[in-house]
Amino acid sequence: MTASALPIGPLTPDTVPPHLVVDFDVYRPATDAESFHQAYIDFQAATPHPLVWTHRNGGHWIAVRGEDVYALYADHERFSSRHYFVPATPDQGALGAFTLDPPQHAPFRAFLNEGLSAKVVGAKLPRVRQLAVDLADDLAGRQGCNFTTDFADALALTMFLDMVDLPFSDREHLSALVEIAARDPDASQRIAGLHQIADYLLPHIHQRRAEPGDDLLSRAVNADIDGRPITLEESLGAAIHLLGAGLDTVSSLFSFSMLYLARDPALRRALVDHPDRIPAAATELIRRFPVVVMARQVRADMDYLGVPLRQGEMVAIPTAFYNLDATVYDRPLVLDWDRRAGKVLSFGNGPHRCPGSTLGRQELIIGLQEWLKRIPDFSVAPGARIEVAGGTVAKVLGLPLVWGRSAS
């Protein structure tokens, strides 16, 4: 991994200036969770250009400066959301609002906004809290756990399955499919993962179209699209979007957050002693641990930031390049409970901003509140190496925490 210029190769168009060619994998800057975000900062600091080209992942541009990344997320007039990962793959298929641009995406977004409104989310919060209480109570009696699977995944995935009324017994199976679709290094395997998700969803879609309920999946597959019923193909894309977006981001963010708190007893103690600070701390954690890398496709030939872009080329836009940009936030890697985080890119920006961000933030707040009440002192298991799998959503593969006698 380097920001220095590289020789032009077969995955580099002849329109790319040679000095802009770098070797950097936006999905896998590091495999160790504790250096994962530092790797983004190191690359950003070593790269003097706002746009660079890498041969990784089929060849694509990378927007490097925070404010440019933030703007690109919302610039649907020049950059399309048609392909959400690199490289662009023809058989990705439609994924509802996720891969539609305005104005076409508006009716596909409407039922998500309604199903994840503040009123709907508010009604679900007692369920979130009871689940967090049950999980934390069970774990407190032990001396350790794998936080990723035993708490973060269990909380976020169970709540998502509750929102879409899918069987809780399918949690592990669906999680495995999303793992492939979001993080497999091979783009063809990511597509295969999406197809397997479609195979799982189709029977449920047919059932909800025949007998709709009040759940979010029923809303998606029975939506009104500009005065006409949503088609089966469109409803499948919308359902895949729901599943892919709902099963991953919060759990990933939560595990990164707890890894940091396990390493910093004083910072953790500030929340234990002052639980009223947890809601503000959640905003800072969301800023500090961005896990998403989206992509955009150039709509037409143009010069952008002094660089010639050609129609169809892809641009990767890691959220870390905004949230952790030192020109946007002072000392970006430091968690500061008093920081006033304004704009944060963790849940996106513009028309495609994640409609589930309110629920995700509340899950993090409530999860922290109930965990810290019951397990205030914990640490990473001695000798553990915490690995991370990169992708469109980076994920801590396992976080072994210990407390009580096991921590001594």
CATH of residue 125: 1.10.630.10
* pLDDT tens, N- to C-terminus, the chain (408 residues): 444 444 455 688 999 999 999 999 999 999 999 999 999 999 999 999 999 999 999 999 999 999 999 999 999 999 999 988 898 877 666 677 778 899 988 888 888 888 888 999 999 999 999 999 999 999 999 999 999 999 999 999 999 899 999 999 998 898 888 888 888 888 888 888 888 988 999 999 999 999 999 999 999 899 999 999 999 988 888 888 777 666 678 899 999 999 999 999 999 999 999 999 999 999 999 999 999 999 999 999 999 999 999 999 999 999 999 999 999 999 999 999 999 888 999 999 999 888 889 999 999 999 999 999 999 999 999 999 999 998 899 999 999 999 987 665
Q: Indicate the helix (H) or strand (E) that contains 303.
A: strand 302-304
Angle between the 357-374 and 278-288 helix axes, to the nearest 10 degrees?
A: 120
7 in a domain, yes or no? no
Range(s) of the domain holding residue 46? 18-407
11 in a domain, yes or no? no
Instruction: Give dist(CA 216, CA 62) in Å, integer.
Output: 35
2 in a domain, yes or no? no
5 in a domain, yes or no? no
Cβ burial 205-243 (10 Å sphere, 16+ → b, else e): beebeeeeeebbbbbbbbbebeeeebeeebbbbbbbbbb
175 in a domain, yes or no? yes
6 in a domain, yes or no? no
59 in a domain, yes or no? yes
Provide the terminal-to-terminal Cα distance of the chain, rounded to the nearest Å.
38
Number of domains in the chain: 1
